[in-house]
Amino acid sequence: MSFRSFNQRFLAPGAQSLMIFGIIALCQPWSLFLHKYGVTLTLVGLIAFLVTSKIAPDPEPEEEHEDEMFDTQIGSAGAASATRRTSETNKDGGIV
């Protein structure tokens, strides 16, 4: 597992959860300790989220399409006939 996928799977949701927990800790009336550090938890979660949101996810693997492979194998004569076929089917100028 790469760092980017670990970030997307665990770190970014953890930062969001820490922000939410900080807001809940700030609003609850039972624990003075949680109320005292609610703003700190929210700010730490916010900074962590800002950092983790800047890390891009893993790039998607490129898939080869059979149509593109077929087009390269046709050659120049086949490409010209393919161009003629598409121009014949779009007689209305491409307006559908």
34 occurs within a structural domain: yes
25 occurs within a structural domain: yes
44 occurs within a structural domain: yes
Encode pLDDT of 29-81 as tens digits: 999 999 999 999 999 999 999 999 998 888 888 876 665 555 555 555 555 55
pLDDT at 95: 66
84 occurs within a structural domain: no
Alpha helices in 1-96 (DSSP H): 3-6, 12-27, 32-53, 66-74, 76-89
42 occurs within a structural domain: yes
Q: What range defines the domain where residue 13 resides?
A: 3-53
Q: How many domains does the chain have?
A: 1
Answer whether residue 16 shows pLDDT above 60.
Answer: yes
Closest to 55 measured CA to CA, from 7, 2, 1, 6: 7
d(CA 24, CA 38): 8
92 occurs within a structural domain: no
